[in-house]
Structure 1
């Protein structure tokens, strides 16, 4: 839940506790217990679907791990095949084996599987002379295993995304039901505004949604050289929602390699860190309302 929903959810739970503590008074209000049952059902619906959403990231996290592993092994095999192609002076093979990590990180999941499969086929076609370049049947089996594992995770991730969307819709329905119920309760509370002013005042206070305070800083960190420990200015951090290829935010490190981000919604992100002369990295981070994310990355030179 975002901050606004979380604050409202806390208000709803506190209201239910308040009503049960004042059951003798609410008994005087017509049909109030029916509305209380509706409110409890709404809170249960919100709670259930929020918990279900919390289980989904485990699937997408696994897909990210398999995605990164496939890119790593594909680039490694491509580099070895490219070395063989240069020795053979095979211009076509040299061109086909030019595969870069940044390119693979930017393409879709299905395109990545296609590119990796094509490379697997190219290596098979040259397997008889590729052993000195550490391209063997064993290495091909490892590449095939990585391709199949990631390809198998794609439908699971899509199902997880659909599940998240479904849970979000049901959660919104819970909030809508709660809001409609509270409007009915507000009207009934006016009946005893003068006869039970203390209860009425306490109800109005409990009915307020208290905004959650949190730091405006969402993420911060420093990008440094793994070998020297020196800061890396001008490194580009690209934030994408986990499971999506759409860019949410790009940030460039300052002169001392540091960065600060304030405008970023609470979510799980895949962050790609790039700098010419260094190996591109992609990591997964969680941005939450209650504390800033510290993202310190050490980059390895190419």
Structure 2
């Protein structure tokens, strides 16, 4: 459910509450109002249920998958870097080429490929675990990577099922909104009958029909960007990769913020010349703020060999 739909649902709930609190003597002025009210309330309850189901699929399963992917990628990258250091020490160019990666390459790999890449790194390091022990690669660290790969592969089918469920919820939500709009139109016509007979109720009803747009005014994301020494970094470009990506730049104190980010799980990238790009997957819920403060690592400048 998007921000506009949530705002519309809030309006519908206000109207439903007004009818619930209206005295029987006024209700008696409106033909068939009990039938209309009953269907209207049923639809609102269903919308709440469908929203909870849709939100669970969007910010539950998807977020878990991305969290597992991040951990798995970090583990594989670290083991690859240590194996690469070993390869350089023994002057094994073939091994060095097999385990040379940038972290951004893990972020950019497709879902179907990233687990296979991590598995290849695991297989190489497992065969060299004795030689890699001085570099910090242990059986325990390899087992952790293997478990992350297993978890990531296990959750893939669940995520695809979640996408199907999300589409079904979205379609049903749209149908319920359309039905309630028709019921509201009938209510509008009924209330016009008592415009002068019941002016107070008429005014209350029309006030309750106003949709208050809240999604674009509240902070969706804020944070403070620092380096590894805890110093703020200014002029970092932050991009939230929604369907229509939005960007901002950090202040002199490293602060940044966004408003009106639609609900869902979106990639957020942080980039600045001289620092390693960082990508995080964050879950957004309309009208709720996410606080995230990344620590950026400086790029290692390679020295020219004379």
TM-score by length of 2: 0.81
Choose from 100, 104, 107 the match for 1:98: 100
Q: CA deviation at 1:29?
A: 2.9
Do the aligned residues in 1 keep the contact of 2:216 with 2:260 (CA within 8 Å)? no
Q: CA deviation at 1:214?
A: 6.4
Do the aligned residues in 1 keep the contact of 2:63 with 2:265 (CA within 8 Å)? no
SS of equivalent residue, structure 1 residue 237: strand
Query: Which digits, 9 at most, give the CA deviation of each residue in 1:41-82, with x for residues without a partner?
Result: 211111111222333323223222211110111011101221
* Structure 2 alignment gaps of length 5 or more: 301-306
**1:34 aligned onto 2:35:** yes
Q: CA deviation at 1:83?
A: 1.9
**1:296 aligned onto 2:293:** yes
Choose from 82, 88, 91 the match for 1:89: 91
Q: CA deviation at 1:7?
A: 3.0
Q: CA deviation at 1:174?
A: 1.7
Choose from 172, 175, 178 the match for 1:176: 178
Find the aligned partners of 1:213 and 1:239 in 2 and give their Cα distance: 16
- More displaced stretch, 214-223 vs 165-174: 214-223
Find the aligned partners of 2:151 and 2:227 in 1 and give their Cα distance: 32
Q: CA deviation at 1:282?
A: 4.0
Count of matched residue pairs: 297
Do the aligned residues in 2 keep the contact of 1:238 with 1:247 (CA within 8 Å)? no
Q: CA deviation at 1:185?
A: 2.1
Counterpart for residue 160 of structure 2: 158
RMSD over aligned CA atoms reads 3.1
Q: CA deviation at 1:114?
A: 1.5
Change in 2 beyond 3 A, CA 1:276/1:84:
farther
Counterpart for residue 49 of structure 1: 50
Q: CA deviation at 1:132?
A: 4.1
Counterpart for residue 258 of structure 2: 261
Change in 2 beyond 3 A, CA 1:220/1:137:
closer
Change in 2 beyond 3 A, CA 1:29/1:179:
same
Do the aligned residues in 2 keep the contact of 1:45 with 1:170 (CA within 8 Å)? no
Q: CA deviation at 1:135?
A: 4.1
- More displaced stretch, 80-89 vs 279-288: 279-288
Query: Which digits, 9 at most, give the CA deviation of each residue in 1:95-123, with x for residues without a partner?
Result: 11111211101222221112112222333
Counterpart for residue 304 of structure 2: none
Choose from 219, 222, 225 the match for 1:223: 225
TM-score by length of 1: 0.82
SS of equivalent residue, structure 2 residue 225: strand
Counterpart for residue 23 of structure 2: 22
